[in-house]
Amino acid sequence: MQNNIGRKLGQLRPGDLLVGVDPHKHKHAIISMDQKAVVRTRFKISNDRQGFEHLLMRVEQETEKAGASGIIFAIEAGSHYWRNLAYYLAEKNVRFRLINPFTLKRQREGEDLNRRKNDYRDAIMAAELLRMGKFTETRLLEGDYAELRALDRCYQRLKHEQARAINLLRGLLDGLFPEFCQVFKSPSGQSAMSVLSAIMVPGAIASLSPQEFICMVRSHHQGGRLAVGKLAALHRLASVSVGVKAGAGGVSGEIRLLVERLRILATQIKQAERELLELVGKLPEASYALSIKGLGKLTVARLIARIGPVGDYGNAKDLIKLAGSNPTQSESAGKSRSHTPMSKKGRSDLRGLLWLAAMSLLRHNEEFRNWAKGMENRAAQANPLHRREVVGAAMNRLLRLYFALVTKGQMYRPATTLAVAA
């Protein structure tokens, strides 16, 4: 039976010239190697069209000199500098494979105990890993899938920026007005930000009457109903606040800027959500995934963005490995852990999204909920799962279900499709 390395080695044709690439912002380091690991040429190219054209010209010349039958590139997929060259090679129908930077680093350190490192050395190691069959079979996204992936990354960055701004806001309020978050649990709520836009120094709030304070906040309010009861409670706490008075003016100015930034971010996040939902409706996978009770439209859009076309994967196990949620044995000296952990060697962002999706399914999908209870309550000899293990198993079950629905072109029917995903 052919293993994975054997299958990958079968993708290398006899007589192929292996071209290793270590990509960087301005210059890419290039080496060419034959299948006997003999390095034939090394040079650098600029990261632009002229450099890419020069690369193909040099490689074609070397192919003729070496009498090679074909060309295949090995590109270290560090940072984002590999993408331009990869898409250019795809345009020209030139074969290439990506090399995991972590694998490359460990291989280089294992061979060079003195930790020798330079650009050409990394390019050589990329070609060597290609020769050994230790590469990644990555397919570049095109069309709506590429647009959806870009939108999802934009949405994710906006959410991270929003979370960072909220954490910074909480930190500033802990010094200026620590009682604020006792009244408003979230400083990013509409009423809370209206207070912070108008006035947030406790002494200034205490100097106003409750009616004057509420009127001032109302004049800065944007959104729905104003929480008048919380404003009255905040006014009472302002007179006994232990907030730091030194530098209060500067801190309050920074808080106003943060409030403005949060409002802008909220608008941008809503715009990104609308574009995600509009685009995902054009993809065939969306209708099948949305038929699963417990999955929302935004979750489905982000799931498809991070997985891409299902046709790129051979089976559901490939999706599980992509997420890094596959159980992995951990054993040493005949001793193993009592619980089997996830490998966590896949895409962490996909794994995090699947965790939230699985939690939603266990809460809102009756079939998933009954299945989870069965996993937790089965007999001791049948290895019952703990709660967190059940969530991990539900993530893999969701991926198997999603793969089955899309590949078979069926909508979710609990009586039949859950049996497929078991």
Q: Where are the domains of the chain?
A: 15-140, 147-277, 284-327+342-421
Q: What is the model's pLDDT at position 176?
A: 92
Domain 15-140, CATH homologous superfamily name and number: Ribonuclease H-like superfamily/Ribonuclease H (3.30.420.10)
CA distance 287 to 403: 13
Starting at the edge strand that comes first in sequence, how are the strands of the sheet with 96-99 ordered? 39-46, 27-33, 16-22, 70-76, 96-99
CA distance 182 to 72: 62
Q: Residue 71 is inside which H or E element, if any?
A: strand 70-76
Lowest mean pLDDT among 146-160, 213-227, 333-347, 362-376: 333-347
Is pLDDT larger for residue 215 or for residue 420? 215
What does pTM read for this prediction? Answer: 0.87
Q: Measured in whole angstroms, how far is the alpha carbon of residue 331 from the centre of its chain?
A: 29
Q: Which two tokens stand for residue 98?
A: 């990506």
Is pLDDT larger for residue 331 or for residue 24? 24
**For tokens 């990354």, what's the residue?**
153
Q: Which two tokens stand for residue 411?
A: 């909508």
φ, ψ dihedrals at 179, nearest 5°: -80, -10
Q: Do domains 15-140 and 147-277 have the same CATH topology?
A: no
The answer to whether residues 368 and 360 touch, using CB atoms and an 8 Å cutoff, is no
| Region label for 40, one of left (φ > 0), alpha (ψ between -120 and 50) or beta (otherwise) | alpha
Q: Which two tokens stand for residue 398?
A: 């969701």
Q: How does residue 3 score in pLDDT terms, banded at 50, 70 and 90?
A: confident
The answer to whether residues 377 and 384 touch, using CB atoms and an 8 Å cutoff, is yes
Q: Which two tokens stand for residue 181?
A: 């978050």
pLDDT(418) > 60: no
Q: What is the model's pLDDT at position 1?
A: 40
Residue of 164, 175, 102 whose CA lies nearest to 136: 102
CATH fold group of domain 147-277: Helix Hairpins (1.10.287)
Residue of 168, 34, 21, 160 whose CA lies nearest to 85: 21
206 CB neighbour count, 10 Å cutoff: 15
**For tokens 């498809």, what's the residue?**
304
Q: What is the model's pLDDT at position 354?
A: 96
Please report, as a single letter, which amino acid is at residue 224: G
Q: What is the model's pLDDT at position 110?
A: 85
CA distance 172 to 7: 57
Q: What angle do CA 414, 420, 421 make, to 5 degrees?
A: 85
Residue of 366, 372, 371 whose CA lies nearest to 386: 372
Mean pLDDT of 362-377: 91
